[in-house]
Structure 1
């Protein structure tokens, strides 16, 4: 689910490009929205197939990314206008100089990010000295560091094998490494290895891996009306899913490339936030406090060089207007 960008690879493309006549380009009339195969973001596929973007009067070009990392790059370089991504990945992007704004909390990860180990490894402490495949800099690398820290271990106490999340899950399933950090639906691949099981998951850190709708700051400034309609669509989609669960699961499972039965197993591991919970989180500065907490941990563990300025990271106007 979901990786941070290396600062050296960041490039920022401004939304206000200079036109041929020398003036600023017109404000965008639609939103290019990216998402990838995380259960908390697959409702966007439902919104597309059920025509809910059009119902809410917003022209959305929905783009699915097989690689979550590619979606982060696309938002940071201006190839898309909005993306669903984790808090820690957004902090990493902002820390490298990209202007991004969080306008919505989609969900929190409550079990669908996992560290899965082979038979005979039953705790995080048992990972000492073992080979662990993980996409370095990803949210599951972050989860691994959280778990190691709680077990009084450090990254140097394990052997990291850095690879993309889907390849990491496949390598573990094939028996090439002792453990893997992965998010659903890649956890299904990893758990196909006989005797494997999670030794920890995001359920043990239920507030530290929130997932957000993030837009380029220029988009929020130039077309707040479009962003508002996108936020409105999200909650209407959740309501539609609640009233049509079987059809919704068919749509999301198909996009994730798993069976509806497998997809149902992911449901407890992703907790969606309601309108009221979003309003409470933005209004109480809970999100800012959590961002500071996450950023400080990322600095302490080497995922960030320094904590970025985050005073304007969250824009509450859109959830307030719901």
Structure 2
């Protein structure tokens, strides 16, 4: 039960960090967007470098914060205005008390995230009793939970060690853990070792990992025009990437400090969302893919005891649906 109890403790600490924070919503000179090092967020840099945000009248600052818990806590406290993360992560933090509104979807992981393991771990059920590096309260935990659930296991059945996703991949490649939940390029690095393999990745888990951007509801209320302009400018960045992939990739690789070869090796693992994908994800009402993902994540985390109550899907994603229609 130790791994499970530690997960509950982390969830409780994150929830507590949202209490007593100042509420965003006043005048802001910048719209600061925090994100982790993942190529799915790369089009943000295209929109910024090509001047689309400036043209739209929005002063955007992009800030790398690897841990989603740190980024969302900073957003709750008003230190930043927006956070990029996975939709399931937003559901988890919303259920723990965070006030947030998803404003648009960015991409879907299609093999970019997964679980690496020693070669003697032939299937997911073999993870029982093994040491698994995984970042608690993140999309990595959600992937692990979903995978274990399919194998008839729970988080308590593995010896989970809390590590940021990149650190988890590095720990596995160094031979310090039996398995790790990580992303590219660590999936490929693990598969290239003489002892490791990719046990499962998101290419076989469609719709599980969708990245998006959220802001505090009070910020959205007071800065709706800026948010609308930000969303439209971002999709100009996506249009540029489609029209000139080579130039777009160069901008992404340079800003994320990746070599061109490293970027190419992981490019197939992400599917960027354009305006049409965004509108389809949020739908025009009813049980959209966005709402269903929030519900699935909330119900799952509630069932395993990480959340006491699932978040309200309408509250989390309704802003995204409204903005997608504009």
TM-score normalised by structure 2 residue count: 0.88
1:303 aligns with 2:306: yes
Counterpart position of 1:259: 259
1:320 aligns with 2:325: yes
Counterpart position of 2:275: 275
Counterpart position of 2:16: 8
Instruction: Tell me, in whole angstroms, the C-alpha distance in 2 between the residues paired with 1:312 and 1:162.
Output: 30
CA displacement, residues 151-176 of structure 1 (integer Å, 9 cap, x when unaligned): 11222222112222222222111101
CA displacement, residues 95-152 of structure 1 (integer Å, 9 cap, x when unaligned): 2222211111111222111100122223212222211111122211111111111011
Counterpart position of 2:166: 166
Instruction: Tell me, in whole angstroms, the C-alpha distance in 1 between the residues paired with 2:103 and 2:67.
Output: 23
Instruction: Give the Å deviation of 1:177.
Output: 0.7
Task: Report the secondary structure of 1:266's partner residue.
Answer: helix
Higher mean C-alpha displacement, 109-118 vs 42-51: 42-51
Q: Gapped runs of 5+ residues in structure 2? A: 1-9
Instruction: Tell me, in whole angstroms, the C-alpha distance in 2 between the residues paired with 1:138 and 1:124.
Output: 20
Instruction: Give the Å deviation of 1:75.
Output: 1.6
Instruction: Give the Å deviation of 1:55.
Output: 2.2
On the 8 A contact 1:38/1:185 being kept in 2, the answer is no
Counterpart position of 2:242: 242
Task: Report the secondary structure of 1:166's partner residue.
Answer: helix
Say how many residue pairs are matched.
Answer: 310
Counterpart position of 1:101: 101
Higher mean C-alpha displacement, 75-84 vs 265-274: 265-274
Instruction: Tell me, in whole angstroms, the C-alpha distance in 1 between the residues paired with 2:149 and 2:17.
Output: 28
Task: Report the secondary structure of 2:276's partner residue.
Answer: helix
CA displacement, residues 293-315 of structure 1 (integer Å, 9 cap, x when unaligned): 11101111233222123332221
Instruction: Tell me, in whole angstroms, the C-alpha distance in 2 between the residues paired with 1:186 and 1:251.
Output: 22
Task: Report the secondary structure of 1:62's partner residue.
Answer: strand
Instruction: Tell me, in whole angstroms, the C-alpha distance in 1 between the residues paired with 2:236 and 2:296.
Output: 31
1:290 aligns with 2:293: yes
Residues 191 and 55 from structure 1, CA distance in 2 versus in 1: closer, same or farther, beyond 3 angstroms?
farther
Instruction: Give the Å deviation of 1:185.
Output: 4.0
Q: How does 1:151-230 map to 2 (within 5 A)?
A: 151-191=151-191, 193-230=193-230
Higher mean C-alpha displacement, 231-240 vs 27-36: 27-36
TM-score normalised by structure 1 residue count: 0.89
CA displacement, residues 23-70 of structure 1 (integer Å, 9 cap, x when unaligned): xx5x33531222221121121122222222112221212222244443
Instruction: Give the Å deviation of 1:273.
Output: 2.0
Task: Report the secondary structure of 1:265's partner residue.
Answer: helix
On the 8 A contact 1:72/1:85 being kept in 2, the answer is no
Residues 294 and 68 from structure 1, CA distance in 2 versus in 1: closer, same or farther, beyond 3 angstroms?
closer
Higher mean C-alpha displacement, 258-267 vs 219-228: 258-267
Instruction: Tell me, in whole angstroms, the C-alpha distance in 2 between the residues paired with 1:125 and 1:66.
Output: 29
On the 8 A contact 2:92/2:297 being kept in 1, the answer is no
Aligned CA-pair RMSD: 2.1
Higher mean C-alpha displacement, 288-297 vs 242-251: 242-251
Q: How does 1:29-48 map to 2 (within 5 A)?
A: 29-48=29-48
Residues 241 and 110 from structure 1, CA distance in 2 versus in 1: closer, same or farther, beyond 3 angstroms?
same
Instruction: Give the Å deviation of 1:14.
Output: 0.7
Q: Gapped runs of 5+ residues in structure 1? A: 17-24
Say which structure is richer in helix: 2
On the 8 A contact 1:174/1:193 being kept in 2, the answer is no
